[in-house]
Amino acid sequence: MIVKEELLSKLRRYFDLNLYEVKLWTALLSRGVSTAGELSDIADVPRSRSYDVLESLEKKGFVIMKLGKPIKYIAIPPAEVVDRVRKHMHVVAGEKVKRLETVRGSPLMAELESLHSTGINLVDPSEMSGALRGRTNLHNHLDFLIKEAKKTINICTTEQGFIRKVEGLRGGLEKAKRRGVRVRITAPLTKDNKRMLELVKGIAEVKHNENMDARFVTVDGKDTVFMTMHDKDVHPSYDLGIWVKAPYFTTTIDTLFNQAWNTK
């Protein structure tokens, strides 16, 4: 049985399996019921590994070991496997979240903070810059900067960027507003994104802008994150932002923002 590499790759990613596991699982799916030896030959998996791998699949809920001899394995319907894997992932994710929450306020966190503070104090401020690859990383770093904001947050974005910023950063912006931070957003406002205005009402000041076609965020006149490409021209996975902690540069960017903000 020949299974395309693309399918095996997708199965590994979606079901969190290794290569031998997806090979034996797909082989068993094609047979319904089979022995470890037969599956080993079909899937091109060493016989010495087949029993261990099938035992792993059994524990994960992908197969059932049939009673009797020789030992055979029964394939569980894929739809049922999806349900089982989903439930398992929820349980595992919940356990990991609980474990992480216990770190807050613990001696371990104090030790980590101490290490970070010591390291940061040794870094030249001019070296505090970095590349943010992928829109998820971009938004994660923006969320971090927003959490640290004390005075101002200025956001210049695109038509679709306005929707993404409101959907992804609204919670952080709302908390910043409660701390007394002034939040301003300028973007092209159209019939497609004006619905987002209601979601940031009382949180951010928003102005229509069609003259400055740019994507950047500044925080407290110190940090700037600017995107290097138009969001129409790049896939989210390949979006690229540059973060710099540079008051002189950020002040210049804020001047451009203020000019666009005050333009009628």
Determine, yes or no, domain membership for 105: no
Q: What was the pLDDT predicted at 17?
A: 92
Per-residue pLDDT of the chain (264 residues; tens, 9 = 90+): 556 888 888 889 889 899 999 999 999 999 889 999 999 999 989 999 999 999 999 988 899 988 778 889 998 889 898 998 888 888 888 988 888 888 887 888 777 777 766 655 555 555 557 889 999 999 999 999 999 999 999 999 999 999 999 999 999 999 999 999 999 999 999 998 988 999 999 999 999 988 888 999 999 999 999 999 999 999 999 999 999 988 889 999 999 999 889 876
Q: What is the pTM of this model?
A: 0.61
Q: What was the pLDDT predicted at 125?
A: 54
Q: What was the pLDDT predicted at 28?
A: 92
Q: How many separate domains does the chain show?
A: 2
CA 8 to CA 23: how far, in whole Å? 7
Among residues 40, 72, 75, the alpha carbon closest in space to that of 57 is found at 75
Same domain, 91 and 156: no
Same domain, 160 and 82: no
* Alpha carbon distances (Å) from 175 to 1, 121, 136, 147, 197: 57, 28, 21, 8, 17
Q: What was the pLDDT predicted at 159?
A: 93
Q: What was the pLDDT predicted at 205?
A: 95
CATH of residue 176: 3.30.870.10
Determine, yes or no, domain membership for 38: yes
Determine, yes or no, domain membership for 239: yes
Q: What was the pLDDT predicted at 212?
A: 86
Q: What was the pLDDT predicted at 164?
A: 94
Q: What was the pLDDT predicted at 258?
A: 93
- By residue range, what is the domain housing residue 79? 5-96
Contact 161, 189 (CB under 8 A): no
Same domain, 136 and 248: yes
Contact 141, 216 (CB under 8 A): no
Chain mean position to CA 86: 18
* Alpha carbon distances (Å) from 32 to 27, 72, 121, 225: 9, 10, 62, 54
Query: Angle CA(56)–CA(59)–CA(63) in degrees, nearest 5?
Result: 85
CA 26 to CA 17: how far, in whole Å? 12
CATH of residue 14: 1.10.10.10
